[in-house]
A and B are shown apart, each in its own frame.
Chain A
Amino acid sequence: MYEWSQSCLTMACDLNPVAIILVTSGTRGNRLLFRYPYCQEQETKPKPKKKTNCGQNPYALKIAENLQDVKKEKSSITSFVKDGVLTNFSNNTLANILIVKSDLCGKKFSVEIDDVRFVGFPISLQHLSRDSGLQGSQSSSSRQHFILSVNVVFVLRVRMPESVVSCYQELAQQLAVAIAHEEKRCQYLNREAKIMVLAFEEASVSGDNDMVSPLRQIIDRSRLGGELKSVFDSLAQSGQVLFYLNQWVEINFCLPHKIHAMHTPGRVIQLESIYRYLSSVRPYHGILLTKTEKEVLNFLPLDASPCLIRLIKLTTPIKNLKTLALETDLSITQIYQLVCHMIYWGFAMLIYPLCQSNLYVLSASANTAAHSDLSKEFSLHFPGLHLHEEMSRFSFPSPMHDACDIMAYPSPGLLDRLNQVVVWMLQHRLLNQLHTYVNLTTARKKEPSSLTSHSMSSTLSSNSSVQVVEESYLSVLMEDPRASTLDRTASMSDIASVNSEESCGHSAANYASQLSKSPSQEANSDCSVVAEETKAQWRVQDTLLNELKPQIKAAILRCPASRNPDDLHLFAKLCPYFNGKHHLEEMMFYENLRRTLLNALLDKFKEVLIFCSHEDPATSLL
């Protein structure tokens, strides 16, 4: 158990970078201007290294190398990362390897050396220096120093998932491009570089081989140094970076892997699963802000879209996205984009809007340890309540508050507090909502004996007649291109086409056209002996259920409720949902049904349905 949690911890911090480095090359060679974090050991580290490399007497007799020496040397190679800090690299080495030839500038830079990986984005500033060089020659300052290229590099551990690496690469690119832009605008890099170089020179003048104090000074004196330090710190802390470089260029980055694993340390989340999660947003979902409205609004950049601000202000956990679209006067596609954006950034999470009929259960990844930070935070929020008591309440699927709770807490204030507890637990991903899914199957072969003899005979007759009708009608229907009226699943899975009213109308029109067509086919049917109204019923049954397998169709028709045309109509309309992928709430939303009506209908056909409850993939990020 202990080992497990230990490995989780290492996994979680694995997403953090090891270091951030700024290097430049200029007319005075390659220079490392800044690295963070630094460790105390670096003061002593370069010394023994120098001894082995150049401390040897050049006149000493060289003993021929043999294989054992090579092996010895190899075994002495140590890891570059010690206690989470980059070691064994002198500043000069770093400067030399991180400055690349001009051919590689403006491209992504990635080098792995043993157990560390450097990702960066080198940018050439040569065109700038040429311009300023022309001016410089006019002012005839021959001592002018030009920066020819700059590279911002993140040092990562080598075992990092590829998608995390590309995120860091992106951030390095943002930073490098911003620095280059600021250099062009107001010589920002030149100015800051002077401060940094000065700090290093002061340290070298004072004589001791101190590598830490200049870096510490740089953080104090140079704005760029401070900015890069804060980038590193906020990456390690929250995985989000948002600031204005030189108070001018916006740097805007988040590491979704980290943000979404905040409450479940140790879980490695793939970028693909986040995208898959985002693609399952539906208009009946709602959003829940993970922070307070004020915090979210404060975090937004100055030029954030007013639509986003409006959405954040209007959102409550009981509204679904369609309502929000109406209230914010935005199109649903626009709402989707905003919501996906907020979820990606970890400001919001997708939920089914809160209501009393929702069932919640404790999430499998919830941390139940007694003295966790989570339980402390909980008791701060809700004095007098125990997190574990609340968690045990949701050990079994339960609604936001039970009926007996209402009896126990007659005052509305307490009830309100219970709802807030649920919201808090949802925000911390302690709860999952259970949904009921419906599967359509054949009925049991052995008929329940409760059926009356009358219905038995009718089942038999309808059973045999179904066969007959099938043969005659199916051939006609097969040729009918509109026979696949009920196949609405494809349109629903498409995130863009969510206009349910439209598609409903479409399918209804198709029903009508089929019904109006059927009398002509009736003439071809050879079962003319049967009464007129039974025939009409078969027609309805046949046209409505023509999609299904014959045995399932027969089983449905054996249910007593199938003789009620209204029920059968509704059932046929809902059939495409009965594949275990659509929960009751979704059916209610798209088909505009009330829960009582739906439940009553499902109850009538329960012979052929199997209910199954699990969480909605859209609202539980796994």
Chain B
Amino acid sequence: MNPAKMIKCIFLAEFHHELGPIISQQVPEEYVSKEMFDAIQNFIITKPELQNRLITMTSFGNKFVGCPISIDNDKYKRNALIFNVCFTFDEDTNTAHYGPVVKKLADYMTQLEIELEFLSKPENVSKIPEFLQEVLDGLNSNGSCNINMAESCTVHLKLATTIHEPIAVGDHDVPILTVPKDVVMRHQWDLTTQQMLHYIDGMSHVMKIAAEADVELNLVKANLQNLLYYKFLKLVPIFQYSNVYCVTRQINKLMEHTHLQQECLKFVAKSERNLPEFRDVFMLYCQFTPGTTVKDICTRQSNPHNLRVDERKLVQFGVMKGLMRRMHQYPVVLPGQPSTSRVQPILKWLDGRYNFDQICCETGLSHHELQEKIDADSSIVTCWK
């Protein structure tokens, strides 16, 4: 997000006791014309039911974001001071992350007015545009501003990126660092994260990391979510030789971008001094098709071992870069068919909503045991997807 010059103008609108709604201060001046303001003023100086609400109005090629405030007090001419500090943007600007800033500024203005009569005192008229200019410059250049208004009041405003729901981390997911470990370590992490970071090797899954680092499982998950938020991590499925992967059409990226090729070769090589040939790596990727397990590929004549390629890293790189995706196996019991007693205990997992990884994790069965049970029963079909 680049805050550069996103805010075009900030203006203070008030309900004047004689003139009605007016723009009392504006920086830069004359950005919003009187005609424009008159057309939209009922969204800026609103009726009581819309006060304290964040209102975004789009018209005249501009977006106006404001929060109308009313302070009731007998000292005002109409027993209330109604005002709104409005930010103006271009029409196509995404203003989602400016909303909280506008609301916070409205709160500050309310506080300043109640404590210092910042808005209503006549001698403050020259101070307000200075203040608005400072806010505008600060937010446009740094994305934040800290303005000292009074002995005990400093206006702190900062643009925050919108926060998404944290990605759920499963017990069987494998975290893998996307940046070198020393770069990650350079940041000042909390002690738990530091302790845990040593065990993230791109091979061990979350549960194992928790056990090895001697950290509670949910703490590990929370830490991983934090690292995921900063994009230091990616989650990949656990590596097993029974896994099936298939290439996606992103595989063409590997053919086209030479820097990705170099990165790939360095990553998948068994030893750094003896890099594999790109042709071989690409050919290995193309061998991942539906129905081919990693084991199948490793037992072929031109297997990764012969080609100086580490198959774990090959898979890791492919999944991380989206060159291929894991195919999951979903066992389903056909309705109306008798099932053997062997699968009775796991029957509730066999409705097509759970894949092998999930069932194994929940029941504690190994992949092999589960496979055997399901193969033995003719009433169960498996769908790979």
Contacts and interface: CB of A to CB of B under 8 A. Distances in A.
Interface in B96-110: 107, 110
B116 interface: no
Contacts of B252: 579-581
A580 B283 CA distance: 12
Main secondary structure of the interface of A (DSSP, over half): mixed
Contacts of B280: 444
Main secondary structure of the interface of B (DSSP, over half): mixed
A174 B325 CA distance: 44
Nearest to B327: A364
Interface in B250-285: 251-252, 255, 277-280, 282-283, 285
Nearest to B286: A612
Contacts of B248: 614
Contacts of B290: 361, 395-397, 434
Given A65-B72, A371-B351, A615-B249, A395 B291 contact: yes
Contact of B383 (A67, A362, A441): A362
B211 interface: no
B383 A395 contact: yes
B110 A386 contact: no
A444 B279 contact: yes
Interface string A42-79: 00000001000100000000101111001001100100
B111 to A, nearest CB: 6
B4 interface: no
A389 interface: yes
Contacts of B381: 386, 388-389, 391-392
Contacts of A328: none
A74 B54 CA distance: 11
A65 B79 CA distance: 12
Nearest to A445: B277
B324 to A, nearest CB: 9
Interface string A367-386: 01111000000000000001
Nearest to A391: B383
Contacts of A111: 43, 55-58
A45 B129 CA distance: 42
Interface residues of B, number: 65
A1 interface: yes
Given A111-B58, A439-B282, A581-B252, A93 B50 contact: yes
Contacts of A612: 247, 251, 285-286
Interface in B30-50: 35, 38-40, 42-43, 46-50
B353 A369 contact: yes
Contacts, number: 166
B160 interface: no
A103 B35 contact: yes
Given A386-B334, A581-B252, A104 B59 contact: yes
B140 to A, nearest CB: 22
A428 interface: no
Nearest to B114: A67
Interface in A499-514: none
B382 A395 contact: yes
Contacts of B176: none
B352 interface: yes
Contacts of A389: 334, 381
Contact of B39 (A7, A104, A392): A104
Interface of A: 1, 3-4, 7, 49, 53, 62, 64-67, 70, 73-74, 77, 89-90, 93, 96-97, 100-101, 103-104, 107-114, 361-364, 366, 368-371, 386, 388-389, 391-392, 395-397, 434, 439, 441-445, 579-581, 610-615, 617
Nearest to B385: A362
Given A93-B49, A101-B39, A368 B255 contact: no
A368 B52 contact: no
A619 to B, nearest CB: 12
A368 B332 contact: yes
Contacts of B283: 441, 610
Nearest to B46: A97
A277 to B, nearest CB: 13
A77 B53 contact: yes
Nearest to A112: B56
B50 A113 contact: yes
Nearest to A49: B49
Interface string B311-349: 000000000000001010010111100000000000000
Interface pairs A-B: 7 shortest CB-CB: A395-B384, A112-B56, A392-B381, A396-B291, A368-B352, A612-B286, A103-B39
A247 B327 CA distance: 52
A396 B383 CA distance: 9
Interface in B41-87: 42-43, 46-50, 52-59, 71-74
Contacts of B247: 612-614
B110 A370 contact: no
Nearest to B329: A395
A613 B289 contact: yes
Contacts of A370: 332-333, 335, 350-353
Contacts of A107: 59
B54 A113 contact: yes
28 contacts: A1-B354, A65-B71, A77-B52, A89-B49, A96-B42, A101-B42, A103-B35, A107-B59, A111-B43, A112-B54, A113-B50, A113-B55, A362-B384, A362-B385, A368-B385, A370-B335, A371-B351, A388-B352, A388-B381, A392-B383, A395-B385, A396-B290, A439-B282, A444-B279, A580-B251, A612-B251, A613-B289, A614-B249
A53 B50 CA distance: 12
Contacts of A368: 330, 332, 352-353, 383, 385
Contacts of A443: 279
Contacts of B255: 439, 579-580
Contacts of B333: 370
A450 B354 CA distance: 49
A90 B49 contact: yes
B59 A109 contact: yes
Given A93-B50, A97-B42, A370-B333, 18 more contacts: A67-B110, A97-B43, A110-B57, A110-B58, A110-B59, A363-B385, A370-B353, A371-B335, A388-B383, A391-B381, A392-B383, A395-B291, A442-B279, A611-B286, A612-B251, A612-B286, A613-B289, A614-B251
Nearest to A395: B384
A368 B168 CA distance: 22
Contacts of A445: 277
A580 B289 CA distance: 16
B323 to A, nearest CB: 10
B382 A100 contact: no
B207 to A, nearest CB: 18
Nearest to B38: A101
B187 to A, nearest CB: 30
Interface string B369-385: 00000000000011111
A610 B49 contact: no
Contacts of B72: 62, 65
A113 B55 CA distance: 4
Contact of B111 (A67, A364, A580): A67
B39 A388 contact: no
B246 interface: yes
B377 to A, nearest CB: 13
A77 to B, nearest CB: 6
Contacts of A101: 38-40, 42
Nearest to A386: B334
Listed residue (B74, B252, B350, B358) with the most chain A CB atoms within 10 angstroms of its CB? B252
